Each structure stands twice: as C-alpha cells, then as structure tokens.
Amino acid sequence: MHPARLARTFYSEAFEVNLQDNDIHIWLGPDTGLPTDAILREVLGHYLPAGQAQLARTANGKPYLMQQGADPLQFNLSHTLGRVACAVSRGICLGIDIENRQRAINVDEVAQRFFHPDEIQALQAITDVAQRRQLFFRLWTCKEAYIKAIGQTIAGVSLQQLGFDCSAATIRALFALPAQQQWHFHNQACGECEISIARARHCAGTDSPHLTFFSFDRWENGPSGQGLQHCQRAADEAL
C-alpha cells in the first residue's frame, strides 16, 4: 500500500504499535539532517519501555540494541535525497534501503560494473528509459538491503554475485542464501523513491510477512518533546 493512500492520522504519542512475529513495520518521513541514532531512538520508543532504546554498533557500523531480550527487535535505517526510512521487525536480521530514482547516476554504466549478468540482461531488455531506471533501483536497493541485513558493507561483498530477479511478484535471490534461514525480499515504489527490505527468520516460520507503513511529515517539539509528528498508519499488506 502506497503511503499516499494511508487512511488514519494521529500524533505519535497518541497510538500504540503492536509488532507481531510476522510483521515488518516501515517508518517513512523527511530527512531533516537529524542524527541517525535520534531517529532510531524515537522509532524504537514505540516498541520498548522508556529508556531501553540504548544503541551500540557493530564493527561495520550496524546499530543494535544494547539490551536484548529472548525475542529481540531487528531494525535498520536508510537515507536518500530528502527521505528517510526505518524498518522494524523480529527475526534473525533485517535490512532496508531507500533510493531516489532522480539521483544523477548513469544506470547502464553502474550496472555493467556491479550487477549480476542476469540483472544486466534484464535491464538491457527494457527499451523504455524510465522503466529501465526503475528496475535498476529496484535491483540496487535489494542488494543494499541484503548487505545491510547481514551486517556487511558494500566494500565487503561482491555486488556482481548478489543478483536478484524482480520479474515476478516474489523477488528471488540469484545466489545461495544462508542455511537454516528463511529470507523474504520486498520492494515498494514510494513517489520518486524505491524501497527494498530484506528479512531473515528461522525456517520454522513459513508464512509471508505482513508490511505496515507509518508515514510522518516532520519532526517538531510536541507535548512529549521532539518526536515524529502527523504520523499516518496503513493496514497490513502481505509481501
């Protein structure tokens, strides 16, 4: 469901967020230059008791909660031109990437350098420039979402080997995924942006995840201090 079609509007301090085992929540809003940790603490504050959104980072810079329970929250954040997206779920790992399709980038040159041969073939089969550009960013965000989910960096992997097939409703990885894990990939067009999510669970879970968007239009000082204002919520959508 596109965030523009969200139905209910309310302030962040006025609602509760219920994250089930099979849910993925996506928070979308403007990138106003606030520090990443400040945004994460505000978002995670909807899921955790007061004061428990204490963050640390891995050697590669991926944030995680210092206090982890038996069923820890997984979360990830991404920026693009003027937009920020944060994903929250439960499971083994989670990654999100958002990219603005209007970025000044030669998609054909980048694809030749960094894409899987099957991805290059899929791009070359599209004659319409706008459609080819959209597929490029779908594939690129899938790569970045997966890389972030596993806690790696672009420099630490081979982008050519991390190929994806986005030709069907279900996105398919063209490489061997980690054993004993069930991976789901999802792409969402949002205005001028493409958003991709990669989430892994233990193989015991077989149902497809459900996605819920929370869209906010600005940060401002409210009754509970600085926070997400004018949040909008969408119904779940099966991936």
Condensed to tens digits (0 to 9), the pLDDT of residues 79-110 reads 998 899 999 998 889 999 999 999 989 999 99
CATH of 3-238, one of 3.40.50.10140, 3.90.470.20, 1.10.3720.10, 3.30.830.10: 3.90.470.20
Residue 50's pLDDT is 76
* Long-range pairs of 60-65 with CB within 8 A, sequence gap ≥ 24: 60/151, 60/152, 60/153, 60/156, 61/153, 62/148, 62/151, 63/36, 63/37
Vertex 228, ends 23 and 86: CA angle to 5°?
A: 40
Q: Give Cα 116 distance to the centre of its chain.
A: 22
Reading the block at residue 181, the tokens are 């894990």
Distance between CA 23 and CA 212 in Å, rounded? 8
Give per-residue pLDDT as tens, 114-145: 999 999 999 999 999 999 999 999 999 999 99
Residue 4's pLDDT is 29
Whether the per-residue pLDDT at 172 is higher than 80: the answer is: yes
Give per-residue pLDDT as tens, 180-239: 889 999 999 988 999 999 999 887 655 778 899 888 776 554 333 344 444 455 544 444
Q: Find residue 30's DSSP bridge partners.
A: 83
Determine the angle formed by the axes of helices 107-114 and 117-124, rounding to 10 degrees.
150
Please tell me the pTM assigned to this model: 0.86
